[in-house]
Chains A and B, each alone.
Chain A
Amino acid sequence: MPAPPIDCLVMPEDHNRIDIEHVAHLARLELTDVEKIKFAAQLKDMLTYVAKLGEVDVTGVEPTAHAVPLTNVLRPDESRPSVDPVLILKNAPETARGLIIMPKIVE
């Protein structure tokens, strides 16, 4: 029997070691303890389900990022009218003097 093509590897099987806190940190998403347990289990179920993609031989197959035959769509870099900043600021959670307020980033 010939060796399987290199690009036909099985999916990672270390689902048991899902570090849900690490993933939540990457996503900047606070989870409750109940959510951590629930989402870790559901993530594992989904990963088990999608592991079927490991069956497909994708040797030499180019990935599809989107379905339109367009690349490098450019337009002239010209100024044009924009939305009134006053309206934009009305939607911001905290503002002062025409600016959006944020917690301090640097000490």
Chain B
Amino acid sequence: MSLHTLTISELRAKLQHGEVSARQLTQALLDRIQTVDGKLKAYLWLNPDDALRQADATDLTKPLGGIPIAIKDVLNVTGQPCTCASKILQGHTSVYDATAIRKLREAGAILLGRTNMDEFAMGSSTENSSWGVTRNPWDLERIPGGSSGGSAAAVAGHEAIAALGSDTGGSIRQPAALTSCVGLKPTYGLVSRYGLVAFASSLDQIGPFTKTVEDAALLLGVIAGHDSLDSTSVPAPVPDYLEKLRAGVKGLRIGLPKEYFIAGTDREVEAAVRAAIRQLESLGAEVVEISLPHTDYAVAVYYLIATAEASANLARFDGVRYGARVRGADVLETYSKTRGAGFGPEVKRRIILGTYALSAGYYDAYYLRAQKVRTLIRRDFEQAFQKCDVIVTPTSPTPAFKIGEKANDPLQMYLSDIFTISVNLAGNCGLSLPCGFTSQPKLPIGLQLIGKAFDEPTLLRVAHAYEQSTSWHKERPAL
């Protein structure tokens, strides 16, 4: 029996029945990492002794008792490094737990290690990491998606039972699609952002990577909920996400936005998504055409708002309180030399764009206008959800591309997020799950489901119905 290939729900049963101990399970994952991470490079940091100590101390009756979970290098875990894959935070050790991490600990999870990412979560390929490229488990010459590429590769490569990532414009859903796992971006305000290093505060959400929809529901139930330490955390009770998981899709309306089925989407991706829609129809869902008319403006809105927020958030990395410092002649020079040496090219590029968009004379034309168009994008979703319960689209217009293929063309890289970013702008929930593979080479294809704000129960229910009627999630990469 290969423990590392099992799901949270399968392992919980084995742990609780005493068929396997938490230490055995953690050791099985450590062995797996030892075997394959030399190829995948999903992890940035690992402490086997600490992981085994956590396993020995866990309470197996808790919801995640004994389950090893990998953490994106952007979430603070007390005593572990947190670098956001940036040189500017090299050597930084977290002095507190993010709220999502505290909740994982309280639920008995084993915090296994830190996963690679694009620097400060800026990217769609994990190539922007200062510590090297993570490989796609399905084809080692391809990117795993990004920015949470390490978390995706760790779960898809069975180096973790589940993982946490963060999603600002698709950074959970896109890598989940490109590696064939389940990735969930919760509704903005559902999961506390306290202890998540901020990229774009009005868009960032923490969410799970899992092997099944049921596991995503389980993990979401643990990390969701109001937190007084995050002023954007919404004070509402957390529903039981497992309760209606098996209710099926009969009578539900599935919306197809005509603007998302466009030229430029890979032919096999479109065919797989259309087949998934037929599958949902055969399970009893009603398919309705909807329109999200401002879709074409989403990438422009996103890259103004996200970079503007990033330019302000990243001002704190100035060589004063933490991280690297490059001394200059005076304090101003110390700031700019530290930042010039510490940030990588993509982070610099976005700080420049964001600073420009917020600067005197350009604020109204760029930032304010983008915020107004953001309102129109939100209204598109509000109107669409009067006609349907869940929206279905491709997650990414293409399967995983080759390492280096888009590295020198930022705009092309940004356009690979075209189907995911509107969801962050509108604040809805979104999920990607496996819906097929391309033929030559065999690469995963993801189906994106978009739900109403705080309607994760319906989102997960549709995803579960589709997943259980197909076998895509059972396929494994040959590593």
B466 proximal to A (CB < 8 A) = no
A40–B348 CA distance with the chains assembled, in angstroms? 12
B327 proximal to A (CB < 8 A) = yes
Nearest neighbor of B355 in chain A, beta-carbon distance: A27
Pair B370/A30 contact, Cβ less than 8 Å: no
Contacts of B336 in A (CB 8 A): 24-25, 28-30
Given A67-B453, A87-B95, A88-B95, CB of A52 within 8 Å of CB of B297: yes
Contacts of B124 in A (CB 8 A): none
9-residue interface stretch from B59-67, B131-139, B177-185, B299-307: B299-307
Pair A70/B320 contact, Cβ less than 8 Å: no
Number of A-B contacts (CB under 8 A): 180
Q: Using a CB–CB distance below 8 Å, which chain B residues touch chain A?
A: 91-93, 95-96, 188-189, 201-202, 228, 231-232, 234, 294, 296-297, 299-301, 303-304, 311, 315, 318-325, 327-332, 334-337, 339-341, 343, 345, 348-349, 351-353, 355-356, 359, 361-362, 365-366, 368-376, 378, 410-411, 425-427, 453
Which listed residue, B341, B349, B376, touches A61 by the CB 8 Å rule? B376
Pair B359/A63 contact, Cβ less than 8 Å: no
Contacts of B319 in A (CB 8 A): 93
Pair A53/B378 contact, Cβ less than 8 Å: no
- Sampled A-B contacts (7; CB under 8 Å): A24-B352, A50-B304, A54-B369, A63-B375, A67-B427, A92-B321, A102-B320
Shortest beta-carbon distance from B274 to chain A in Å: 28
A82–B202 CA distance with the chains assembled, in angstroms? 26
Which listed residue, B232, B328, B355, touches A103 by the CB 8 Å rule? B328
Pair A23/B356 contact, Cβ less than 8 Å: yes
Pair A61/B372 contact, Cβ less than 8 Å: yes
Question: Can you list the 9 inter-chain pairs with the closest CB atoms, starting with the nearest?
Answer: A67-B427, A30-B340, A63-B371, A93-B325, A66-B202, A58-B372, A73-B231, A50-B300, A30-B336
Shortest beta-carbon distance from A3 to chain B in Å: 19
Contacts of B361 in A (CB 8 A): 12
Given A24-B352, A50-B303, A91-B93, CB of A63 within 8 Å of CB of B372: yes
Which listed residue, B352, B366, B369, touches A20 by the CB 8 Å rule? B352
Contacts of B352 in A (CB 8 A): 20, 23-24, 27, 29, 39, 43
Contacts of A94 in B (CB 8 A): 325
Contacts of B299 in A (CB 8 A): 49
Interface of B is mostly: helix
Q: Interface readout for A56-72 with B: 1 if CB under 8 Å, 0 if not?
A: 10100111111111100
Pair A100/B375 contact, Cβ less than 8 Å: no
Q: For chain A, residues 89 to 107, give those with C-beta under 8 angstroms from any C-beta of chain B.
A: 90-94, 100, 102-105
Nearest neighbor of A7 in chain B, beta-carbon distance: B372
Pair A70/B373 contact, Cβ less than 8 Å: no
A11–B370 CA distance with the chains assembled, in angstroms? 11
Given A53-B300, A73-B231, A83-B96, CB of A58 within 8 Å of CB of B348: no
A84 proximal to B (CB < 8 A) = yes
* Chain A interface residue bracket vs B: 35 or more
Contacts of B188 in A (CB 8 A): 66-68
A87–B319 CA distance with the chains assembled, in angstroms? 17
Contacts of A24 in B (CB 8 A): 336, 352
Contacts of A9 in B (CB 8 A): 365
Which listed residue, B201, B332, B353, touches A43 by the CB 8 Å rule? B353
Which listed residue, B95, B371, B410, touches A42 by the CB 8 Å rule? B410
A63–B35 CA distance with the chains assembled, in angstroms? 51
A18 proximal to B (CB < 8 A) = yes
A46 proximal to B (CB < 8 A) = yes
Pair A23/B355 contact, Cβ less than 8 Å: yes
Nearest neighbor of B93 in chain A, beta-carbon distance: A91
Pair B322/A56 contact, Cβ less than 8 Å: no
Contacts of B341 in A (CB 8 A): 30
Given A24-B352, A53-B301, A65-B371, CB of A93 within 8 Å of CB of B323: yes
Contacts of B362 in A (CB 8 A): 12
A26 proximal to B (CB < 8 A) = yes
Pair B332/A31 contact, Cβ less than 8 Å: no
Pair B339/A63 contact, Cβ less than 8 Å: no
Given A29-B340, A52-B296, A64-B378, CB of A75 within 8 Å of CB of B304: no
